[in-house]
Amino acid sequence: MTTNKTRPCPLCKKPASWDNNKWRPFCSERCKMIDLGFWAMGEYKVEGCEDEKNPQENEDKIFTDS
Ligand SMILES: [Zn+2]
């Protein structure tokens, strides 16, 4: 009887199944990749793309909102 064994994912804190989970202690491949630093590469891409579009407008939004 080990079907209900879960643990909170160290990254997103969601309960991650322990059995039949090859990403443990993480809940998913995504969380494991983030922890390993792979996620940073993808995020850098997106961030750079948005920055190139209009960085000033982004800053303006933040200031006017607060
Ligand atoms: Zn997770």
SS3 17: strand
Calculate how far, in angstroms, residue 33's C-alpha sits from the geometric centre of ligand 1: 10
Q: Measured in angstroms, how far is the CA atom of residue 46 from the centroid of ligand 1?
A: 21
Residue with the bigger pLDDT between 21 and 65: it is: 21
Domain range enclosing 53: 6-65
Average pLDDT across the chain, whole number = 75
Q: Residue 54: left (phi > 0), alpha (psi -120 to 50), or beta?
A: beta
CATH assignment of the domain containing 53: 3.30.50
Cα of 63 to ligand 1 centre, how many Å? 32
Query: What is the number of domains present in the chain?
Result: 1
- Domain membership of residue 1 (yes or no) is no
Tell me the CA–centroid distance for residue 16 and ligand 1, in Å: 7
16 in any annotated domain: yes
Q: Residue 15, preceding bond cis, omega within 30 degrees?
A: no
Interval between CA 51 and ligand 1 midpoint (Å): 28
Q: Is it the case that residue 54 has pLDDT exceeding 70? A: no
> Residue 40 above 70 pLDDT?
no
pLDDT at 33: 86
Phi/psi-derived region of residue 13, left when phi > 0, alpha when psi is between -120 and 50, beta in every other case = left
Question: What is the value of pTM for the model shown?
Answer: 0.51
